[in-house]
């Protein structure tokens, strides 16, 4: 494997060496060194924010057409380099190359197109005066770019998720400081090069590397106006406290239920569970972390799920035939094993899988899961399909709502009545009917209820966190 040591920080339009610790990136598949970066020091983080704050003064006044033209150039460059960045994502995180290509081509690159289209159509309002009996008042409501945006992103979609606040922030006239995950810094630098080569002015995009303390400094920095964070619920709670009065979007953990009712298409539900449980080795906040199956269809559903799971090809993520690669970190692997051990100790049965070799965990089906088990209450974030049974829809809904999480849920049924009832009762930010939990649309609002986060991402919905709403009143009386 070729070792690539990339530049460390991108501040004010220049690549500079970091002043902190060396962060070595190893392949989760082979254990070989992929490359390294040097973390940014506190003074370098301050410099990045200062560069962003200074560039904002002029960037916010740049015409919308010029911003759109740069976004369109960035789309073309991003598409040209999609394969190179996808290869880097796979080497760093263990995502299969097919998953990484999907991230780059279907999600990341298209942020530039969607942002350029959305910002051209982003409209304010003119409101009537209701305070007095007069036709002389004009109340205009506009949304202005908020300032410096701190984007703190995870490793599982290291470029796509970061691209949402970065691209939309730039499109509306904000400047950005990005702290990528320390597990995927190399692909982040490649994406920063795309932005730089597209022509975004110096200082509008800045990249600093490091661990949690670097992200914390950005969150608390007085010159950061908005924080967009994706990560664990525990860290998200700290971000919420530290961000204070800043605008923010927090996209946090999940324990998504997939409910399979008695009248469901069992084959379709089993296909959805494969995607829901084993896409990206289960390392998605939208994963199907609990499969709730009506007792009358449990046996045929389980048989269909086992058959499909056995057919999955697990191995080298750079092999295009691989369906599931390794888990990214030892911490996630350990938690998955702990959840399985706890479930078995409390009466569950492992039907298939359960073991691991290095970071490569077998796709696993565990039956007889009940609510007191950790796997039913916490986010496992691993390639596990926990099977739970129920007798009535209301019982299923009670189980589905019984965790602190509320990100994504799905329901399989042929009954419009039951689908509608479930969609209204599930306390989740997204409810899919006859679709996997790992489904999202780039034009739809993405975010969760309860401990799964605050605010919404994607398309025009992210703009609320990146802008300040301003009222301007005109008195036109002679």
CA 192 centroid distance within chain: 18
Q: Which residues of 93-130 are buried (b: 16+ CB within 10 A; e: fewer)?
A: bbbbbbbbbbbbeebbbbbbbbbbbbbeeeeeeeeeee
Q: In whole angstroms, give the CA distance from residue 186 to residue 86.
A: 11
Q: Which of 78, 174, 187, 285 is catalytic?
A: 285
CA nearest to 23, candidates 215, 218, 209, 230: 209
Dist CA 275 CA 99 (whole Å): 12
Q: d(Cα 74, Cα 89) in Å, to the nearest integer?
A: 19
Integer Cα distance of 31 and 359 in angstroms: 9
Which residues neighbour 304 within 8 Å (Cβ) at sequence distance 6 or greater?
266, 267, 270
Of 445, 457, 368, the residue nearest 168 (C-alpha): 457
**C-alpha span between 23 and 155 (Å, rounded):** 14
Do residues 53 and 148 lie in contact, with contact meaning Cβ atoms separated by under 8 Å? yes
CA–chain centroid gap for 29, Å, is: 22
Establish whether 78 is a catalytic residue.
no
436 SS3 class: coil
> Which one of 92, 251, 362, 457 is the catalytic residue?
251
284 annotated active-site? no
At which residue do the structure tokens 């609990």 appear? 290
345-to-78, 336, 350 alpha-carbon distances in Å: 49, 14, 11
How many angstroms separate the Cα of 347 from the Cα of each of 353, 364, 391?
17, 16, 20
**Tokens encoding 97:** 């190359």
* Contact (Cβ atoms closer than 8 angstroms) between residue 140 and residue 129: no
What residues contact 410, with CB distance under 8 A and at least 6 apart?
256, 257, 258, 259, 272, 276, 288, 431, 432, 433, 434, 435, 436, 437, 439
Query: Catalytic site residues?
Result: 251, 285
């Amino acid at each position: 494997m070729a070792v690539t040591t990339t530049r460390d920080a991108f501040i004010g339009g220049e690549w500079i060496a970091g002043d902190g610790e060396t962060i070595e990136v190893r392949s989760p598949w082979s254990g070989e060194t992929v490359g390294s970066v040097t973390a940014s020091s506190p003074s370098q983080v301050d410099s990045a924010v200062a560069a962003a704050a200074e560039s904002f003064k002029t960037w916010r006044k740049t015409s919308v057409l010029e911003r759109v033209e740069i976004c369109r150039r960035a789309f073309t460059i991003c598409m040209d380099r999609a394969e190179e960045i996808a290869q880097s994502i796979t080497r760093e995180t263990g995502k299969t190359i097919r998953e990484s290509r999907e991230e780059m081509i279907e999600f990341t690159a298209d942020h530039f197109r969607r942002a350029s289209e959305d910002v051209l159509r982003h409209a304010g309002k003119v409101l009537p005066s209701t305070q007095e009996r007069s036709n002389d008042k004009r109340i205009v409501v506009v949304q202005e770019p908020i300032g410096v945006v701190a984007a703190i992103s995870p490793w599982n979609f290291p470029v796509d998720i970061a691209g949402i606040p970065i691209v939309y922030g730039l499109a509306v006239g904000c400047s950005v400081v990005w702290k990528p995950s320390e597990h995927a810094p190399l692909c982040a630098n490649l994406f920063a090069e795309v932005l730089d080569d597209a022509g975004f002015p110096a200082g509008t995009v800045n990249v600093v590397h490091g661990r949690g303390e670097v992200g914390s400094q950005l969150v608390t920095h007085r010159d950061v106006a908005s924080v967009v964070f994706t990560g664990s619920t525990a860290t998200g709670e700290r971000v919420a406290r530290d961000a204070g009065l800043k605008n923010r979007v927090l996209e946090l953990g999940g324990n998504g239920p997939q409910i399979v009712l008695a009248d469901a298409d069992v084959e379709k539900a089993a296909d959805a569970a494969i995607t829901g449980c084993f896409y990206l080795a289960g390392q998605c906040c939208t994963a199907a972390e609990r499969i709730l199956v009506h007792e009358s269809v449990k046996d045929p559903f389980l048989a269909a799920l086992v058959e499909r799971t056995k057919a999955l090809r697990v191995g080298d993520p750079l092999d295009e035939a691989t369906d599931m690669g390794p888990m990214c970190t030892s911490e996630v692997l350990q938690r998955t094993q702990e959840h399985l051990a706890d479930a078995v100790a409390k009466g569950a049965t492992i039907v298939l899988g359960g073991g691991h070799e290095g970071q490569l965990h077998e796709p696993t089906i565990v039956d007889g899961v009940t609510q007191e088990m950790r796997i039913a209450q916490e986010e496992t974030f691993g390639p596990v399909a926990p099977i739970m049974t129920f007798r009535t829809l209301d019982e299923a809904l009670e189980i589905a709502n019984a965790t602190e999480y509320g990100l994504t849920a799905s329901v399989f049924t042929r009954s419009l009545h039951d689908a509608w009832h479930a969609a209204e009762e599930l306390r989740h930010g997204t409810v899919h009917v006859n679709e996997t939990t790992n489904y999202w649309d780039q034009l739809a609002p993405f975010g969760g209820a309860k401990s799964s986060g605050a605010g919404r991402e994607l398309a025009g919905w992210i703009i609320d966190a990146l802008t300040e709403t301003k009222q301007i009143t005109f008195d036109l009386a002679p």
